[in-house]
Amino acid sequence: MQLDFYKAFSINVDLAIEAHDLARGQTGREIPGVIVDREKYENSSVTIVKVIEEQAEQLMGKPRGNYITIEAPVLRENNRLAQQEVAEVLAKKLTSLFNLPESANILLVGMGNWNATPDALGPRVIDQSMVTRHLFKYAPEELSDGMRPVSAIAPGVLGITGIETAEIIKGVVEKIQPELIIVVDSLAAGSVDRIATTIQIADTGISPGSGIGNKRAGVNRESMGVPVIAIGVPTVVHAAVIAQVTVEQFLEQLKTNPVLEQIYKNLRPDFTQQVINQVLQPFAGNLMVTPKEIDALILNISKIVAGGISMALHPSISFDEYNLYLN
C-alpha cells in the first residue's frame, strides 16, 4: 500500500489533497468527516478539503480545518495574464478564510532559509509583498482607501539564528499584536508535477520543516494566540517517492510483456522497498530532489503568491497597482 510505503520511509505529506488521496486509498472508500469541493477556472483548478471530525484528522494526519489547493501548471510558463488570474484566485480564496475589518493589523512571515533556494520561497515572498504598517505613521498620504497595516518578517531558520522560528514570531506578535498571521513556506510534494505548480492555503497554521522530517514548534492559533493562515508551495520531492514511481512503472511493463511476466510473478512483495532502501542508504533514506531551474521557479512563483496576498489584504488594490507600489 502506498501509505505503508510513506510510513516506512518516514515521509511526511504536506499537501492535504495528497494526504486525503493516501488515506482514501488505504481505506478503499471515502473518509468520514471530510468534505471535498472542487472549482474550475480558466487556468487553474481548486480543491477545497474540509477536515471536520477527529477520525478524519487521525486518518489524514492533518488538523481539523480548511485546506484549499490551487493547481495551475501555467505557473511554470511565461504567461503573465494567466499568472495574474492565478494570483486573483489566490486572493479570493485567501479572503474566504478571514473576516477582518479594514483597520486590522496583519503580520506576514516568510519561513525558510534564504541561503537554500528550494527553501527560500518565504523570504522571497516577503521581498515582493506590500508592507504598509510604517506608512500609516510616517507617510499616510501614500495610502489609498482599502489598505490595511501590514508588517512582515523573514525570521530565518534555527541553523542560522540559533533561535526557534516560533519563538521569534511569538516575540514579534507580543510586540505588535496582529489580528492575523499569514505564514509562507516551501513544502514537500508527493509528485514532481506539483513542484511550483500547486499552492496550498490552510487555516491550521504550519509546522516548520515537517516536509523534510524536522520537528519544530508549530506556528498556529494555539501557539500564537491569533489566527494563523499558512500558504505553501511544493519545491521538493522525496527521492524515495520518485524511485517508487519509477520501479512501479517498470514492474507494470514486466506484467504486460509475456516473456518477462514470470519474473514479475516471482518478485517478493517487499522488493521495491528493499531496492530503494539500498539506493538511498548513504543518505539514511532522507534525500530531497528539486529541479535545476528552481531559482527561476522560486522567483516567479514568489511574485504570484505575494501579489495574491497583497490583493487579499488590500482589497482596493489591483494587480497592476500592486506592482506600481512595489516599484
In whole angstroms, what is the distance from residue 202 CA to residue 15 CA?
A: 10
Residue 261 belongs to a domain: no
DSSP at 66:
E
Residue 294, pLDDT score: 95
Model confidence over 227-247: pLDDT tens digits? 999 999 999 999 888 888 887
User: Which of the two residues, 1 and 51, has the higher pLDDT score?
Assistant: 51
| pLDDT > 90? residue 318 | no
The residues, any chain, with a CB within 8 Å of residue 243's CB and separated by 6 or more, are: 275, 276, 279, 280
Q: What angle (nearest 5°) sits at the alpha carbon of residue 156, between those of residues 152 and 160?
A: 155
pTM over 0.95: no
3-class secondary structure, 188: strand
- Over the stretch 259-305, which tens digit does the pLDDT of each residue have? 666 666 666 667 777 778 888 878 766 789 999 999 999 999 999 99
Q: Is residue 95 part of a domain?
A: yes
Residue 19 near residue 62 (C-beta atoms within 8 A): yes
pLDDT at 199: 98
CATH number at residue 39: 3.40.50.1450
d(CA 190, CA 18): 7
For the chain, the first-to-last Cα distance in angstroms comes to 51
Q: Name the domain count of the chain.
A: 1
pLDDT in the model for residue 24: 84
The pLDDT-based confidence of 120 (bands split at 50, 70, 90) is very high
> Percentage of residues in the chain with pLDDT exceeding 90?
56
How high is the pLDDT of residue 277? Answer: 81
Neighbouring CB atoms inside 10 A of 121's CB total 30
Q: Is residue 277 part of a domain?
A: no
| Mean pLDDT, the chain, whole residue set | 87
Mean of pLDDT values over 193-198: 95
190 in any annotated domain: yes
Return the higher-pLDDT residue of 272 and 188: 188
The beta-strand segments (E) located in 204-298 are 228-238, 288-289
Domain holding 136, by residue range, is 2-241+284-326
Of the listed ranges 5-19, 103-117, 126-140, 144-158, the one predicted with least confidence: 5-19
Contact status, residue 203 vs residue 97, Cβ threshold 8 Å: yes
User: Would you say residue 202 lies in a domain?
Assistant: yes
Within a domain: 276:
no
221: pLDDT strictly greater than 70: yes
Is 60 exceeded by the pLDDT of residue 1?
no
The answer to whether residue 134 is domain-embedded is: yes
Residue 250 maps to a domain = no
Report pLDDT for 211: 44
Quick one: pLDDT at residue 212?
A: 46
